Structure 1
């Protein structure tokens, strides 16, 4: 691989320490939109791959611990050739231990994949492309490996937490971030909006579809805190800042607890689908 940027170096370190954090957060939670409901945000992506007897090559970009690839492998669809690409050896080690040997796993950056031009029928990615450096090069590489009319489907972030918990989180967190955390520029601002994605994709893709999903979750305060510690923002805080944030956040969240002690919240994500021109 090429020399890593500061963002890539941090992400590689995080996923070495916290392999499987993304699937732990999203894999067990149902996702719903105004038009559909899915077993999870991963299942929404898996559903973009046709259940066909025809040979299909599916690439999971930033495959992490292989959760999405396992969903596809469990179909027992013999026509599928599955490939996972990730730059984290820690994640790939977990994936290798979980997946059948037929699934190919490659330690590479998204900006330069050792995959034959026009060889992929479906390219999927879960909660990753919005974090990547030089997203225009990533999209160019995605289009290169896809066949004409190949399917592109990704899940990206839309809102950190859902509901009132998100307002509480930001009210407590922002002053601490200003004092403690040095900025680390994750991704491209255009990946935050439908308009930005349309600008990024329209040259090489058509039939763009956007579906906003709410990943519903009702944790107790301690469960919410544990999940937040496995996010990039909180992970980068100093230990004193984490301790302060935990104390202030749990106090602020107490007013949102339901009668059983849980908090109604979740994660906001966006499912984007397109077809290569």
Structure 2
């Protein structure tokens, strides 16, 4: 692979230490849009892949431990060819341990896909694209490997936490991050907005559409903090700053606890869909 950027080296190290962390966070929580409810945000993407007897090649870009590929493989569609690409060897090893041999797994970067042009009918991606460097090149590669009329669908981040908890977290996180978090830019700012995605998809894609996908969750404050430890910025804090943030966060959300001790929150994501022109 091409030499990795500082952000990519951090992401590779993180997923070497914690393979499967994304599916552990999202795979068991229901997801909902304005029009539908799904078993998970992975199931949102799975539902977009046609259940057909005709040949269909699907690429999961940034496939992680293969959770989405596993949902698709479980269909046992005879003509469904599945490909997963990720830059993390540890994630791919976890995927290989659970997926059937028919699923093709490759280590690589989205900026230089080792696939023939027009080889893919559907390209899906779950919580990965917004982290990638050189998004214009990523989108050129996505368009290159998709057949004309092929489907692009990605779940990307929209807001960190849902509801009042997000404001409470940001109020205590920002001053600590300003003091203790080394600068490191993940991805392209355009991947955080619908207008930005329209710009990234301009030219090579048509029929661009968006849906807000909420992943609601009602944890206790301590359970939520445990989940936050597996997010990139909190992982990057040193132990002293992390302990400061923990106490400040637990204090800040105490007033948001309900009678049963839980808080109403979750993860906010966006479904981006388009068709290769």
- Would the TM-score normalized by the shorter structure come out above 0.5? yes
**Deviation readout 1:68-99 (Å, 9 max, x if unpaired):** 00000011111110000000011001000010
Alignment of 1:61-80 (within 5 A): 61-80=61-80
In the alignment, the residues of structure 1 paired with residue 183 and residue 214 of structure 2 have an alpha-carbon distance, to the nearest angstrom, of 28
**Deviation readout 1:183-219 (Å, 9 max, x if unpaired):** 1011111111101100110210001110011110001
**Deviation readout 1:106-138 (Å, 9 max, x if unpaired):** 000000011111010000000011110000000
Aligned to 2:39: 39
Q: Number of residues paired by the alignment?
A: 277
Question: Are residues 1:233 and 2:233 paired?
Answer: yes
Aligned to 1:100: 100
SS of the aligned residue for 1:52 comes to coil
In the alignment, the residues of structure 2 paired with residue 3 and residue 34 of structure 1 have an alpha-carbon distance, to the nearest angstrom, of 42
Aligned to 1:59: 59
In the alignment, the residues of structure 2 paired with residue 151 and residue 173 of structure 1 have an alpha-carbon distance, to the nearest angstrom, of 38
In the alignment, the residues of structure 1 paired with residue 254 and residue 149 of structure 2 have an alpha-carbon distance, to the nearest angstrom, of 50
Aligned to 2:254: 254
In the alignment, the residues of structure 1 paired with residue 76 and residue 263 of structure 2 have an alpha-carbon distance, to the nearest angstrom, of 38
SS of the aligned residue for 1:160 comes to strand
SS of the aligned residue for 2:161 comes to coil
C-alpha displacement at 1:2, in angstroms? Answer: 0.6
SS of the aligned residue for 2:78 comes to coil
Alignment of 1:1-277 (within 5 A): 1-277=1-277
C-alpha displacement at 1:251, in angstroms? Answer: 1.4
In the alignment, the residues of structure 2 paired with residue 46 and residue 234 of structure 1 have an alpha-carbon distance, to the nearest angstrom, of 30
In the alignment, the residues of structure 1 paired with residue 183 and residue 169 of structure 2 have an alpha-carbon distance, to the nearest angstrom, of 18
In the alignment, the residues of structure 1 paired with residue 223 and residue 92 of structure 2 have an alpha-carbon distance, to the nearest angstrom, of 26
**Deviation readout 1:28-68 (Å, 9 max, x if unpaired):** 11111111111111000011110010010000000000000
SS of the aligned residue for 1:262 comes to coil
Query: Segments of 4+ in structure 1 off by > 2 A?
Result: none
In the alignment, the residues of structure 2 paired with residue 103 and residue 222 of structure 1 have an alpha-carbon distance, to the nearest angstrom, of 38
Give the TM-score, by structure 1 length.
0.99
